[in-house]
Chains A and B, each alone.
Chain A
């Protein structure tokens, strides 16, 4: 083992200026590459929804577009904070909770404006069981990109940082999935999209706890 003064000599000799925005750049690269892989995977494996051109004029399409994206943005904020020693992600947590509450309210509103015999259809749609599975699948490439991001940073709460990465990956994965998914009901979105993203968060925390050690 070298002595500390020699170590300091070596570290000083290795000093290079660190450009501002290094952390953000790394996140952008990780999410960009992971997201691209995930988008290609979705198009080749699941395919874009056939009625995409018409769907862009509907509210349900935009709800499905905005909700996962908001959770993805909350994930970005979380990773940027939690990737730093001692970082906390209160702002990200507030944004995520607000998005979930908003979608739950939309779901309740749609239930209240519908006759009871429609409830089952609104909740289950035609792809309820597959939706969370697809979301987690599409989140995986993004999560792998984020493991690369976080391993270059310095998270000190590994499970929490992993959960943040899971939120980002789940949000963006669900957003990509929405270009395939033809479901239109708010209760479906509030339940199955949320479940897919929550599963990503949980898996992210579990994996992060072991993989992110530095």
Chain B
């Protein structure tokens, strides 16, 4: 089972039991996933994207009883999103830029997991002070060289290396529960 399925499915089951906290998290996650999903198909600047996101969230709310807890949640939400998109395209004559045949299992795909991992990473980095945070972002995430980063930030190359190293160490101390061998 994919990470997304496990996470969202769990939240949905709690929501059906009436857990408002889980439901808020679920709707927030779905909001960003749906935004990506519709934006990719209608074009990022389309004003319809946000309308569709909201329409779909309302459908999730109104039709939540139709989620069968024995079935994958990602299939359920994907079917709703796809239905709303097709309905939208049909009745408003909007051009869909990605062929619908290609969009099976979008919510279970790796790029969603990557997006979520990236969001987790951002949250982790936010716990660091500004300087190591910037340095790690430049060198480890954006992939710039130490020399480039040194030039950009006005620090010496040694200071950049030390900053990255200390930042990573701080992160490892805070989040590195299991030590890798």
Contacts and interface: CB of A to CB of B under 8 A. Distances in A.
B31 A4 contact: yes
B98 interface: no
A69 B180 CA distance: 62
Contacts of B3: none
B129 interface: no
Interface of B: 15-18, 20, 23-24, 27-28, 31, 50-51, 53-54, 57-59, 61, 63-69, 71, 75-80, 82-83, 87
A7 B68 CA distance: 24
What 9 pairs across the A-B complex have the smallest Cβ distances? A86-B79, A17-B18, A85-B79, A154-B63, A22-B65, A156-B83, A84-B66, A8-B27, A11-B61
A4 B54 contact: yes
A117 interface: no
Contact of B20 (A2, A15, A22, A154): A15
A154 B57 contact: no
Given A17-B17, A22-B65, A12 B24 contact: yes
Nearest to A6: B54
A59 to B, nearest CB: 39
Contact of A156 (B20, B50, B51, B79): B79
A209 to B, nearest CB: 12
Contact of A85 (B23, B53, B80): B80
Interface residues of A, number: 25
A210 B11 CA distance: 34
Contacts, number: 77
A156 B87 CA distance: 10
Contacts of B71: 84
Interface of A: 1-2, 4, 7-8, 11-12, 14-18, 20, 22-23, 83-87, 153-154, 156, 213-214
A11 B66 contact: no
Contacts of B77: 85
A148 B139 CA distance: 59
Contact of A17 (B16, B24, B76): B16
A49 to B, nearest CB: 40
A4 B65 contact: no
Contact of B65 (A8, A23, A86): A23
A2 B20 CA distance: 21
